[in-house]
Chain A
């Protein structure tokens, strides 16, 4: 499925994960996918959403207010400094090797019981479903690629949840939004 994603669509998924990391969340939900879409303001999905008054800043604040960050995950830099360990130096080297934020979260257990490093931010069930639905949206529109617009349609189709609540808070009418995204992609 992902091989059919356009560059903007891939970037949106990557940015969704980055937004989740920045918020110190342990998962990527549809709300983070919306943030990923909005993080590319020139993309079709972002342009339509911004026209409805929802930009990245506003959506980010809404997600931040709705889902508090995991506070207990912060490494105790002061305590480490007290025994002569410079956490920022360690962080710099680890991130150079494993990417930004790789030291910010504790290892997590997957549903299969594997322990994975903090580098991974897993997609929630609804978010996986939305990405699958984006493929179905593309097929029903007879498009042979999946763009950021299809992802937004997938999120709309995925049903109620934080993402829909954020759209509702910004007074976005889902049906109108859907029609406009479809029209923009035609």
Chain B
């Protein structure tokens, strides 16, 4: 870790403003990474079930999030 990061980390570990901001940034990053990976998996022919298994979420959750709101009316794979 660089000196500045160490400083920020030391100073920020108990500062909610710093900590929460980091969590928010991390969440945004995760959302983007997840969308890229889910899309890539679908392009490579993975089923929603397989993707859900890797993400440790339910098939319905991942399908609803990525395939759109009308999950039950759609053909699922």
Contact = CB atoms under 8 A, between A and B. Distances in A.
B21 interface: yes
**In the complex, which range does the number of interface residues on chain A fall in?**
20 to 34
B72 interface: no
Interface string B1-39: 110110011001000001101101110110111011011
Dominant secondary structure at the A interface: loop
Contact of A117 (B18, B19, B26, B36): B36
Which of B4, B12, B19, B26: most chain A Cβ within 10 A? Answer: B26
A114 B67 contact: yes
A106 B63 CA distance: 18
**Chain B interface residue bracket vs A:** 20 to 34
Contact of A87 (B29, B31, B35, B70): B29
Contacts of A53: none
Given A79-B21, A102-B36, A117-B36, A85 B26 contact: yes
A94 B36 contact: yes
A113 B72 CA distance: 13
A78 B21 CA distance: 10
Nearest to B74: A113
Contact of B4 (A81, A83, A105, A106): A81
Interface in B54-77: 65-70
Q: 7 shortest A-B CB distances, which residue pairs?
A: A113-B68, A76-B25, A107-B35, A117-B35, A82-B8, A79-B25, A79-B21
Interface of B: 1-2, 4-5, 8-9, 12, 18-19, 21-22, 24-26, 28-29, 31-33, 35-36, 38-40, 65-70
